[in-house]
């Protein structure tokens, strides 16, 4: 009589072939079957990485922070120094994160690095603080600025209703969430397009300012460090505003596993974008443009510097 093989189950839900007598082959006789590992696809190229970092840095911060920097320094010269120091500090931070990203090749950014170095408890606390406090507050600031700028052309002669701003803000957040949930490739393409639009707008502001300097109209930079409102007690707040404008260089490390050749790309991306942003901020520094195109009192009364370009 020929014994037919039967199938027996094991505790983990797998199946092993045995005999009628119930004896199973030794588990150590064979190597366990390889399980498929879930990994993120490496779809972030050099261009997409640059657009992600530039797109996250060039945002609401550059349109909100300059008033705070100028107001707390009291002079255009000191504000330029603050912007430069903030740029250098951001560059050092970006280089440190590039080193971390090439040493720990995992996505997750702050959470991953704290988990690897300090353990699960500090990482757990950090991620919940990020989820409940840091990220919602930052998203609210950026999104409200987006909603206000979108509606400003339609309410030139009157005040924008707060409800309208909040509705547009909610729509913007929802659209961004849906796009990022649907496809990495499409969200990266849209990021590239929006980055191009931001850079185009900045160039439109920079070129006339440089032309005015070439023509010799530098009267607004005479006595650059003189100011009645200068106060050393305001420098910490000025640094805070300046660092907020540079924030965003660390976001690529949240996507380390999706970056092509991260050993080389991370360092190149972070260094290039930081030097690029520092150069743009120095050239497009809004107080400088206000001193070229207008007057300081207009600047300090305004909430949104982007709308003062025509003054």
Residue 106 or 170, more confident: 170
137-179 confidence digits (pLDDT tens): 888 888 888 888 888 888 878 888 999 999 999 998 998 888 8
Residue 212 has pLDDT above 80, yes or no: no
Lowest mean pLDDT among 110-124, 130-144, 261-275: 261-275
| Assigned token pair, 284 | 């497009």
pLDDT band at 291 (very low <50, low <70, confident <90, very high): very low
pLDDT of residue 287: 46
Mean model confidence pLDDT for the chain: 73
pLDDT digits (tens, 9 = 90+) for 242-272: 888 887 777 777 777 777 777 777 777 777 7
- Model pLDDT, residue 213: 74
N- to C-terminal Cα distance for the chain?
Answer: 100
Q: Residue 293 and residue 308: Cα distance in Å, rounded? A: 9
**Between these two residues, 200 and 165, which has the higher pLDDT value?**
165
190/178 Cα distance (integer angstroms): 13
Tokens 């991260």 map to which residue? 262
């Amino acid at each position: 009589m020929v014994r037919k093989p039967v199938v027996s189950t094991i505790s983990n839900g797998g199946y092993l072939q045995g005999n009628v007598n119930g004896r199973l082959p030794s588990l150590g006789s064979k190597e366990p079957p390889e399980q498929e590992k879930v990994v993120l696809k490496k779809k972030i190229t050099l261009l997409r990485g640059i657009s992600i970092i530039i797109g996250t840095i060039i945002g609401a911060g550059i349109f909100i922070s300059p008033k705070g920097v100028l107001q707390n320094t009291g002079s255009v010269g000191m504000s330029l120094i603050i912007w430069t120091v903030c740029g250098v500090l951001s560059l050092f931070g970006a280089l440190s994160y590039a080193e971390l990203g090439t040493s720990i090749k995992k996505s997750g950014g702050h959470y991953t690095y704290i988990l690897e170095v300090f353990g699960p408890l500090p990482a757990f606390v950090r991620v919940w603080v990020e989820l409940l406090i840091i990220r919602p507050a930052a998203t609210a600031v950026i999104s409200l600025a987006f909603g206000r700028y979108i509606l400003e052309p339609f309410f030139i002669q009157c005040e924008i209703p707060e409800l309208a701003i909040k509705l547009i803000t909610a729509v913007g957040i929802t659209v961004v969430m849906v796009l990022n949930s649907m496809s990495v490739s499409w969200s990266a393409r849209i990021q590239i397009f929006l980055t191009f639009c931001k850079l185009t707008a900045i160039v439109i502001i920079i070129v006339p300012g440089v032309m005015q300097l070439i023509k010799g109209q530098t009267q607004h930079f005479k006595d650059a460090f003189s100011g009645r409102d200068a106060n050393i007690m305001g420098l910490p707040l000025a640094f805070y505003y300046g660092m907020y404008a540079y924030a965003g260089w660390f976001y690529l490390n949240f996507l380390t596993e999706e970056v092509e050749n991260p050993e080389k790309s991370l360092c190149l991306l972070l260094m290039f974008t930081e030097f690029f942003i520092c150069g743009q901020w120095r050239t497009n520094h809004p107080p400088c443009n206000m001193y070229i195109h207008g007057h300081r009192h207009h600047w300090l009364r305004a909430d949104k510097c982007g709308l003062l370009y025509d003054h």
